[in-house]
Structure 1
Amino acid sequence: MSRPREFDVDRTLHQAMEVFWTKGFKATSYEDITRATEVKKQSLYCVFKDKRELFLKALALYREQTIAKLEELASREVSPLKKLEAVCEATLYQNDEAIHRGCLMVNSALEFGDDDREVSREISLMFEQVERILEKIICDGQEQRLITTSRSGKELADYLNNVLRGAKVMEKSGDPRERIAEVLRTSFALMAP
């Protein structure tokens, strides 16, 4: 029996994430993954016990990359309002290919619903982390009297987090960029002091 080939697990996981992101979990076959990664099925099975485990790790990678990007934006030395604008802009997509793919987490939430507890947990973790980033920015804005204090920072962060999820669905559904921008402008106007 031949020994499975060694491969770069991180690179392969990233490539598998791209396949799942483009096709979704159910429509992705192991052949799609082996073709994209150029890693044999047997070698993949040595590291990831099955397609679902590979998908869960791909979701975690997507979450980690997204949160790192948002944390970097939130740490910049600009006003809280500029930080919120940057986070909102980074959450939406800049080109047709990215719009077509949408957000891996939103896509997965729509594909799975609440049928898989581990997938749901990964999705919830992502949205909780985004909400914490938004809450910190909003609280800073409230302290500087740039954002209303009529609601708590947590309430406003929850609201804006849900607006962003909805904007991602609008985007993937083909709504014009101007309409999505109007939704975001309205959300910012509602948070004004």
Structure 2
Amino acid sequence: MSRPREFDVDRALRQSMEVFWTKGFKATSYDDLTSTTQVKKQSLYCVFKNKRELFLRALVLYREQSIAMLEALASQEGSPVKKLEAICEATLCQNDETMCRGCLIVNSALEFGTDDEEVNREVALMFNQVGRVLETVIRSGQEQQLITSRLTSKALALHLNNALSGAKIMEKSGAPREQIAVVLRTALALMMPENDGSL
């Protein structure tokens, strides 16, 4: 008979995700994970096998939470432009009392480059899923003539998606919030119909 689990696996995964988000994969030690989760190393890796497996599971959790948040913003009441503004606002670091950590997926892409196939898969999934959410909102805006039709909804979604990723890199590098906000406002302004480039 196998031993019962002595800790909340979901809670430990969420806590581990926070550690990886703050420190990155390579800088995170076993002690960081065990002290944060208050779970012994043997118990932790009995479930997650090793640090890498735990990290990959954390990436999945982060991606799923992020997409759920975007989908919630995209499905709320309001015009497509207001939804895009809400998505951009949610991208900005909201808590001045904590370190702006950027995006765990973007951070991981920068840390690993193209060297890890499984990490790259999560990065691609995140970018594609964000893009689909954005494209749906943008297409709705084009149908209502609130967003320019000079470019396809897919092209505009790629552009805004790239701006959002860049904003998280700026945030991670310590750029002022106001500067990041200007970048995102500009990305949205360029999507407005030709007769109204203002927001």
Structure 1 residues 165 and 67, CA gap change in structure 2 (3 angstroms): same
Q: Distance in 1 between matches of 2:45 and 2:174?
A: 38
Letter in 1 for 2:31: E
Q: Superposition pairs for residues 1-193 of structure 1, below 5 Å?
A: 6-193=6-193
What is the DSSP-based 3-state SS (H/G/I as helix, E as strand, rest coil) of the residue aligned with 1:66? helix
Letter in 1 for 2:145: R
Q: Distance in 1 between matches of 2:161 and 2:97?
A: 23
Higher helix proportion (structure 1 or 2) = 1
Checking the alignment, whether the CA contact within 8 Å between 1:16 and 1:58 is kept in structure 2 is: yes
Checking the alignment, whether the CA contact within 8 Å between 2:92 and 2:181 is kept in structure 1 is: no
What is the DSSP-based 3-state SS (H/G/I as helix, E as strand, rest coil) of the residue aligned with 1:63? helix
Checking the alignment, whether the CA contact within 8 Å between 1:24 and 1:107 is kept in structure 2 is: yes
Please give the per-residue CA displacement for 1:75-120, whole angstroms capped at 9, x wherever unaligned: 0111000000011111221123555322111111111111110011
What is the DSSP-based 3-state SS (H/G/I as helix, E as strand, rest coil) of the residue aligned with 1:96? coil
Q: Distance in 2 between matches of 1:5 and 1:160?
A: 44
Q: Distance in 2 between matches of 1:32 and 1:156?
A: 41
Spell out structure 1 runs of 4+ moving beyond 4 A.
none
Please give the per-residue CA displacement for 1:43-62, whole angstroms capped at 9, x wherever unaligned: 11211111000000000000
Please give the per-residue CA displacement for 1:109-158, whole angstroms capped at 9, x wherever unaligned: 11111111001101111111111000000000000000011111000000
Q: Distance in 2 between matches of 1:105 and 1:98?
A: 19
What is the DSSP-based 3-state SS (H/G/I as helix, E as strand, rest coil) of the residue aligned with 1:191? coil
Q: Distance in 2 between matches of 1:175 and 1:101?
A: 12
Please give the per-residue CA displacement for 1:166-193, whole angstroms capped at 9, x wherever unaligned: 1111122222222222212221121111
Letter in 2 for 1:191: M
Deviation at 1:165, TM superposition (A): 0.7
Deviation at 1:31, TM superposition (A): 1.3
Q: Distance in 2 between matches of 1:11 and 1:133?
A: 28
What is the DSSP-based 3-state SS (H/G/I as helix, E as strand, rest coil) of the residue aligned with 1:150? coil
Q: How many residues align?
A: 191
Provide the aligned C-alpha RMSD in A: 1.4
TM-score normalized by the length of structure 2: 0.92
Letter in 2 for 1:39: V
Letter in 2 for 1:100: C
Structure 1 residues 98 and 142, CA gap change in structure 2 (3 angstroms): farther
Q: Distance in 2 between matches of 1:135 and 1:178?
A: 26
Q: Percent identity?
A: 72
